[in-house]
Structure 1
Amino acid sequence: MNDNMPMVEVKNLDVTFDTGRHRVRALAGVSFAIAPGESFGLVGESGSGKTTVLRVLAGLIRQWNGGITVAGKPLTPDRDKDAKRAIQMVFQDPYGSLHPKHTVDRILAEPLQIHGIGDIENRMKDTLEQVQLGAAFRFRYPHQLSGGQRQRVAIARALILRPKLLLLDEPTSALDVSIQAEVLNLLAKLRHELDLTYILVSHDLAVVAQLCHRLAIMRTGEIVETADSEKLAKGELTHPYSRQLLTASKGFDRAAIAAFTDL
């Protein structure tokens, strides 16, 4: 892969859902590019389309139009095992995303078995160490773990295939505030150590500011503004909707977003 080539490039991504009675255009011409090793945030209210972008990249939505490349290779709805390994996702709910009757050992071994990857013992040991869990956790069940430990297992499951791109869907929103910072710090550490590229979906601008270099703000299926974390920290967002979202995130006016109308 050329060093000057984006790790992810999305061009004019469109997604329309046909509910039978209505057609809903969930994404309308979404475009962005992410450099290798960058952490990129997608921010917006529920229904803005940010999670739809993530689900397209993860292969969970197969009906879409536009162009996507990852590590210089075109991404299609029908992807091979190499493409599937290269892109892994960490879901919002660390309990719901882990099989309740499987041990951590089985949860981590299963992706390796599906992809025909050997050296399972060493891979599991190394990956558990990377997420700061010891070998003693291997034979525990999800209900025997705290919320933070479950999310570390979910991160380990995503990492064990050694992906290039990690998709993070509200990875700390289901955790206690005291645990959120630990998980965010771990994610920042892993990105640096493993040379990963992140796409983080969140409604929380503080989380995005901590973890991301740049962010795109979405509304009704479109990107209305792209900014770097410095502009976010300084409150220098320019689009009216972005400023409304920033105001609401600070708790000054929770009704501001609901009352927002197009200029």
Structure 2
Amino acid sequence: MTLKQQDKTDPVIEIEGLSIHFGEGDQLVKAVDHVSLSVPSQQSFGLVGESGSGKSTILRSLAGLNHHCGGEIRLEGEALSNKRSKAFYKKVQMVFQDPYASLHPRHTIDKILTEPLAIHGLKHPEKRIAEVMEQVALPTKFRFRYSHQLSGGQRQRVAIARALILEPKILLLDEPTSALDVSIQAEILNLLNQLREELSLTYLLVSHDLAVVSYMCEQVAVMQHGKVVELLQVDKNGNTNAQHPYTQQLNLASKGYDRQVIDQFIEHQ
């Protein structure tokens, strides 16, 4: 079946009533509890919340790494089952949080980038690897090095290149800068913004930092205890006009440590 041409206002990702539970009985954990959201084509959509809020669980479910027990996930209007096809992974790729853990330590950068091309039977690997390394601003001299020979920022550029190598239209970004030095974080965020513009990509970005998602995204869903507590529109100045008390606390927390502010934080159920 031929998919229709996506308009920028069309939702490329739709999540409706998604529930993901772990354990059973007294040990049951509702990691995601009836979450619904919609991601327009070629936009960047953020999921923000503290650790354990369910944001990364949603991302992993969309990638096929966690199975959902309720609700529906649709990609370009087509419902996804718990098992993902090879065609899905050509269209949707994920960038993980820790570039130290997500790259095979015994593989050169060349092998890391060549492997997806071989699996999908794509031609002209030399040309494609050169293109993607240029896109993420990695010098060609790094191609036959191992990941441990690169800095944290360079490793994350390799991880982004690996995600881009199949020319997907959607990137799932799981805290893509949180494992990096502060001085490098802005470089990677700017690179991701540049790539989205140049390649007409759609992003679903997970972060615990409201400042990061406000910088990167047009829309932000704020999550707490497995639920969306507020859906925010981000204006051209990066402002969100947050109303929910939990979102306001996240906003204060993103500005840095302040003992007086932290003492005022309360747990919102």
Same fold (TM over 0.5): yes
Counterpart CA distance in 2 for 1:240 and 1:9 is: 27
Residue 109 in structure 1 maps to residue 114 in structure 2 = yes
- Residues 169 and 202 in structure 1, CA contact (< 8 A), matched pair in contact too: yes
**What's the TM-score, normalizing by structure 1?**
0.94
RMSD: 1.7
For 1:4-35, what per-residue CA distance to the aligned partner results, in whole angstroms no more than 9, with x for missing partners?
A: 42111110000010168611111111111111
**Matched residue of 2:62: which SS?**
helix
Counterpart CA distance in 2 for 1:231 and 1:211 is: 11
Counterpart of 1:154 (choices 159, 162, 165) is 159
Aligned to 1:61: 66
- Residues 19 and 68 in structure 2, CA contact (< 8 A), matched pair in contact too: no
- Residues 27 and 221 in structure 1, CA contact (< 8 A), matched pair in contact too: yes
Change in Cα spacing, 1:226 to 1:63, as seen in structure 2 (3 Å) is closer
Aligned to 2:94: 89
Gaps of 5+ in 1: none
Change in Cα spacing, 1:42 to 1:248, as seen in structure 2 (3 Å) is same
The alpha-carbon deviation at position 224 of structure 1 amounts to 0.5
The alpha-carbon deviation at position 247 of structure 1 amounts to 2.0
- Residues 244 and 256 in structure 1, CA contact (< 8 A), matched pair in contact too: no
**Matched residue of 1:210: which SS?**
helix
Alignment of 1:160-179 (within 5 A): 160-179=165-184
The alpha-carbon deviation at position 233 of structure 1 amounts to 4.0
Change in Cα spacing, 1:143 to 1:12, as seen in structure 2 (3 Å) is same
Aligned to 2:268: 261
Aligned to 1:39: 44
- Residues 10 and 69 in structure 1, CA contact (< 8 A), matched pair in contact too: yes
Change in Cα spacing, 1:74 to 1:208, as seen in structure 2 (3 Å) is same
Aligned to 2:189: 184
Counterpart CA distance in 2 for 1:106 and 1:6 is: 35
Residue 247 in structure 1 maps to residue 252 in structure 2 = yes
**Matched residue of 1:198: which SS?**
strand
**Matched residue of 1:61: which SS?**
coil
The alpha-carbon deviation at position 243 of structure 1 amounts to 1.4
Counterpart CA distance in 1 for 2:155 and 2:24 is: 34
* AA of the residue aligned to 1:260: E
Aligned length: 261
The alpha-carbon deviation at position 161 of structure 1 amounts to 1.0
**Matched residue of 1:7: which SS?**
strand
Residue 30 in structure 1 maps to residue 35 in structure 2 = yes
Gaps of 5+ in 2: none
**Matched residue of 1:225: which SS?**
strand
For 1:47-88, what per-residue CA distance to the aligned partner results, in whole angstroms no more than 9, with x for missing partners?
A: 000000000011101243211111222221122211121111
Aligned to 1:223: 228
Residue 213 in structure 1 maps to residue 232 in structure 2 = no
Percent pairwise identity: 55
- Residues 169 and 201 in structure 2, CA contact (< 8 A), matched pair in contact too: yes
The alpha-carbon deviation at position 241 of structure 1 amounts to 1.4
- Residues 5 and 72 in structure 1, CA contact (< 8 A), matched pair in contact too: no
Counterpart CA distance in 1 for 2:267 and 2:70 is: 29
Counterpart of 2:54 (choices 31, 49, 58) is 49
Aligned to 1:197: 202
Counterpart CA distance in 2 for 1:224 and 1:21 is: 25
